[in-house]
């Protein structure tokens, strides 16, 4: 048996709540933490420039509701990628990382999940990869100075779609402050991935895991990486979670879903259903969720 914390992605919850209401809801739903988003929208990017007073108020609300944030999801690099051909965009991407690191220090967050794209909206090239590597290493140095972990997510994009590729960049960076954040849905959707072997071979790099279902990429289908109801996709959650118990994985799990961000009227019911789905599998394979205080 392992003991693991279980969190919920911010975008799963109704989007009209105050921070106090949101933290209290996370607690009341039986989760250990909220996963915090800095995505490519102006609204969420603005969080990087919160004042000292805003940061203190936010941190105080976490304490008041006995809720925490384990991970900051920095998907804003889709809009401002490390590998961009535009020098000003690359500068912006590094400024964002420094601000994210400093925000994590102030809020008590220990891990920044990086999206594994060299570029997203631009054309990929050897040059975009080279810019990505150069700037990734700069990001690792920023994070290391503040003892903040960076973890690359396995993506819906072939640039970094498995743990072997993340391990390659880990070896290039030569730093304990760069690790892996596998998404079981993204890993499972790519037919070339032997998911069980990927996890076995790189368990020592995994610091957090996304629980998300997906539909496989085929020669005639680009796959579906979001908004797949749990249990209807290609992910063998029972088998993979059993494997993680055998490997003695004690890191966190986050249920990743977008029901609130999508505006679903029954978003809370969807979250409750997802948690019940994983509660049943956890009990079956030998995972005990960390006690919610």
**pLDDT mean over 141-148:** 98
Interval 214-272: pLDDT, tens: 999 999 999 999 999 999 999 999 999 999 999 999 999 999 999 999 999 999 999 99
pLDDT at 20: 97
For residue 196, list its beta bridge partners. Answer: none
CA distance 12 to 82: 27
Strands 208-211, 2-4: pairing is unpaired
Tokens for 288, please give them: 């005990």
In a 10 Å sphere around its CB, with 0-12 CB exposed, 13-18 middle and 19+ buried, how is residue 135 labelled? buried
């Amino acid at each position: 048996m392992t003991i693991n914390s279980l969190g919920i992605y911010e975008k799963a919850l109704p989007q009209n709540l105050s921070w106090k209401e949101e933290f209290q809801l996370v607690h009341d739903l039986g989760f250990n933490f909220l996963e915090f988003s800095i995505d490519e929208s102006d609204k969420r990017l603005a969080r990087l420039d919160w004042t000292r007073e805003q940061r203190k108020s936010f941190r105080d609300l976490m304490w008041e509701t006995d809720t925490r944030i384990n991970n900051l999801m920095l998907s804003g690099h889709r809009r401002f990628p490390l590998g961009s051909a535009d020098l000003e965009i690359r500068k912006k991407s590094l400024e964002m990382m420094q601000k994210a690191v400093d925000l994590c220090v102030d809020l008590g967050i220990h891990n920044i999940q990086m999206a594994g794209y060299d570029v997203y909206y631009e054309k990929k090239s050897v040059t975009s990869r080279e810019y990505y590597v150069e700037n990734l290493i700069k990001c690792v140095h920023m994070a290391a100075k503040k003892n903040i972990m960076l973890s690359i997510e396995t993506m819906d994009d072939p640039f970094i779609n498995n743990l072997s590729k993340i391990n390659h960049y880990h070896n290039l960076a030569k730093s304990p402050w760069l690790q892996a954040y596998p998404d079981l849905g993204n890993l499972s959707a790519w037919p070339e991935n032997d998911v069980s072997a990927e996890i076995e071979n790189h368990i020592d790099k995994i610091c957090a895991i996304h629980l998300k279902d997906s539909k496989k990429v085929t020669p005639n289908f680009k796959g579906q990486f979001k908004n797949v109801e749990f249990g209807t996709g290609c992910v063998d959650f029972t088998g993979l979670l059993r494997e993680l118990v055998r490997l003695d994985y004690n890191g966190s799990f986050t249920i990743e879903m977008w029901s609130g961000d999508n505006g679903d009227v029954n978003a809370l019911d969807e979250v409750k259903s997802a948690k019940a789905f994983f509660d049943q599998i956890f009990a079956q394979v030998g995972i005990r969720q960390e006690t919610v205080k």
